[in-house]
Amino acid sequence: MMWDYLNIYFNLGLLSPSAPGGIDEVVLRLSLAALTAFVVSLILGTKLIEKFRLYRVSEDVSKNPSDVIKKLHADKRGTPTMGGIIILLSVLVSTVLWCDLTDSSIVALLGAAFGLGALGFADDYIKLTDKDSMGLKDSTKLSFQLAIGLILGVFLYHHFGSLDIGTRIMFPVMKDTFLELGWFYVVLVMFYVAWTSNAVNITDGLDGLAIGCTIIASLAFCVVAYVVGDWETSRSFGVQYIPGGKELSIFCAALAGSGLGFLWYNGFPAQAFMGDIGSLSVGGILALVALLTKQEVLLVLIGIVFMLEAMSVFIQVAVYKVTGKRVFRCAPLHHHFQFVGWPETKITMRFWILAAVMGLTGLLVFRI
């Protein structure tokens, strides 16, 4: 791993923060991780998108049940999909180069990413090969998400048990308040991972929307992970110290860099879409990072756009089943604003602004 070579320089005092002009090793690694993922994403994007076009791995907007959405998105027909492969591969390369692969948290993150990525791939593949199919059945997809969440829940239960951290849920601001869940923590993780994975998947409906919000959330959790991974800083913030937390910050930086590279191609007008292979895996990564840093509640603020999008679908379906009426013109929320008449770029930009403001708010709440 590249960081092993950097450690030689740190041991020699050449890059030590205490040396003249020295820098922190973790800050250097996370910077290089972000840059590496960005460059790899750009290079892969150029090559893979060309291949996707060649083999017609493209979006079929005609399958959308809404005639209005079909009309609004008609110009997206033929746009390559499954671009999430670019994100996953660039994160993998950057992680192998700059993260400590002996850290169980990093291994779990990669496992979750590629497990949910495989599920997304199956969903995308069925959509591409069966012209009449909308992909995997919702029940099938949810079952696999819950199964992966269950595996992660068992891992976290034993992981935190070995660190004597326990299975408590921490609350921002109320630093001395926590909820100890015991074995029920496994159940919570199972649904938490499935919810967040679906939330990002639901958000991925406009050019650049989901990946832009992912970049913002990744950067925010990069700061959070760095703080909880430093003994002195975590104590001054009044949050739980997490051994190995700084490795998580490097992984978050890699995700942000990869997302920025993919946004190069996914920004309006998109040259490629993430597909379920990207959105399901990215959602799982964000959920697991929040769980590993013991900041599960904070994700509600930092990932507010994802949460609102998912809640809009939940509310729309629940109210319609009970009353036969719709709360929104169309769900998820970004489609509601399209129905109102907002241009796609306006919706995306305003959702990005909301994500950035709430990301900063989340960090402020985390600091209080």
Mean pLDDT of 285-312: 96
367 band by pLDDT with thresholds 50, 70 and 90: confident
The answer on pLDDT for 335 being more than 90 is: yes
On the question of pLDDT at 127 being above 60, the answer is yes
Tokens in use for 161? 């048990």
- Mean pLDDT lowest among 59-68, 228-237, 250-259: 59-68
- Residue 75: C-alpha distances to residues 72, 127, 164, 334 (Å): 8, 19, 54, 18
Domain count, the chain: 1
Residue whose token pair is 């999008």: 309
pLDDT in tens, 154-168: 999 999 988 878 888
Residue 16 has pLDDT above 50, yes or no: no
Q: Looking at per-residue confidence, does 75 or 152 come out higher?
A: 152
Question: What is the structure's pLDDT at 2?
Answer: 60
What pLDDT does 14 receive?
46
Note the pLDDT of residue 17.
45
pLDDT of residue 131: 77
Predicted confidence at residue 326, as pLDDT, reads: 94
pLDDT for 181 equals 86
Instruction: Give yes or no for residue 124 having a pLDDT over 70.
Output: yes
User: pLDDT class for 174, splitting at 50, 70, 90?
Assistant: confident
The model carries a pTM of: 0.92
Give the Å distances, CA to CA, from 307 to 179, 197, 214, 299, 314: 22, 11, 12, 9, 10
For range 108-121, the mean pLDDT:
97
Scan for tokens 């499935």, then name that residue. Answer: 194
pLDDT range class, residue 132, cuts 50, 70, 90: confident
Sort strands 168-170 and 178-180 into parallel, antiparallel or unpaired. Answer: antiparallel
Residue 325: pLDDT band (50, 70, 90) is very high
Range 172-175, long-range pairs (CB < 8 A, 24+ positions):
172/295, 172/297, 172/298, 172/301, 172/362, 172/365, 172/366, 172/368, 173/365, 173/368, 175/238, 175/239
Worst-scoring range by mean pLDDT, 33-47, 159-173, 345-359? 159-173
Under the banding of pLDDT at 50, 70 and 90, the label for residue 22 is: very low
Q: Is the peptide bond before 332 cis (omega within 30 degrees of 0)?
A: yes
Q: Which domain holds residue 158?
A: 2-367
Q: Does position 18 have pLDDT exceeding 70, yes or no?
A: no
- The least confident of 67-71, 255-259, 345-349 is 67-71
User: 264: how many CB neighbours lie within 10 A of its CB?
Assistant: 16
Residue 249, pLDDT score: 97
Residue 19 pLDDT more than 50? no
The answer, yes or no, to whether residue 175 has pLDDT greater than 70, is no
**What pLDDT does 161 receive?**
87
Residue 227 and residue 241: Cα distance in Å, rounded?
8
The whole-number pLDDT of residue 12 equals 47
Give the per-residue pLDDT at 272. 95
